[in-house]
Amino acid sequence: SAVISQKPSRDICQRGTSLTIQCQVDSQVTMMFWYRQQPGQSLTLIATANQGSEATYESGFVIDKFPISRPNLTFSTLTVSNMSPEDSSIYLCSVEILSNTGELFFGEGSRLTVL
Amino acid sequence: GDSVTQMEGPVTLSEEAFLTINCTYTATGYPSLFWYVQYPGEGLQLLLKATKADDKGSNKGFEATYRKETTSFHLEKGSVQVSDSAVYFCALSDRFYTGANSKLTFGKGITLSVRP
């Protein structure tokens, strides 16, 4: 398994500002992902964080809005830019460790409220 | 594309009742299947998994069997407890048959409340 630490755990933000969420894993992982969970909804994949290169974004998500970095195997950041109330969500970092089943481990999430 | 369909919720049961949460999937190959649980105020945790047809995943008294013929992965527990109150997500991973990076596709989730 893996222990995943996300910061901040929650924040209240003003419209138009940007916030960066950090994800630190206690062991080397093969893959890192960022998910969004909107209120009362399921999880939606935002992007795959690639080490040392640009993230791979899912349909509907763009780099200008959600820039992602992954400078090494155990750390990644997600920035939510120019926030609006529609960005109020829980943002989750998830990782895949070396396995053959495809299961992911999740951080506790960062709950953002945009006023 | 891949998709996961869960039964509509929420579900409210009395303690010691039998639980079934339905999950069906659509996929072009042979995905791995998972149940994740999210307890109040906590992050998502893997509850159980199955990686091939007829596999049965089990954990904490919960079970689910990978049924390829009905493309289902229903979650069951014989006697629920108040501590089982949580949101349950069914998910699939397409890793092996796409050759691409692991991606989890989630169902909408269902909230289970267990009354004492």
- Token pair in block for residue B18: 């039998």
Cβ count near A14 (within 10 Å): 9
- pLDDT band at A66; cut points 50, 70, 90: very high
Interface list for B 45-104 with A (CB within 8 A): 45-46, 49, 51, 89, 93-96, 101-104
What is the predicted pLDDT for the residue at A101? Answer: 65
As a whole number of angstroms, the distance between CA B109 and CA B6 comes to 7
- Cβ <8 Å between A101 and B49: yes
Query: In whole angstroms, how far apart are CA A79 and each of A46, A72, B42, B84, B112?
Result: 12, 17, 22, 34, 33
Mean pLDDT over the full length of chain B: 90
Cβ within 8 Å of A, B 5-34 = 31-32, 34
pLDDT (0 to 100) of residue A98: 67
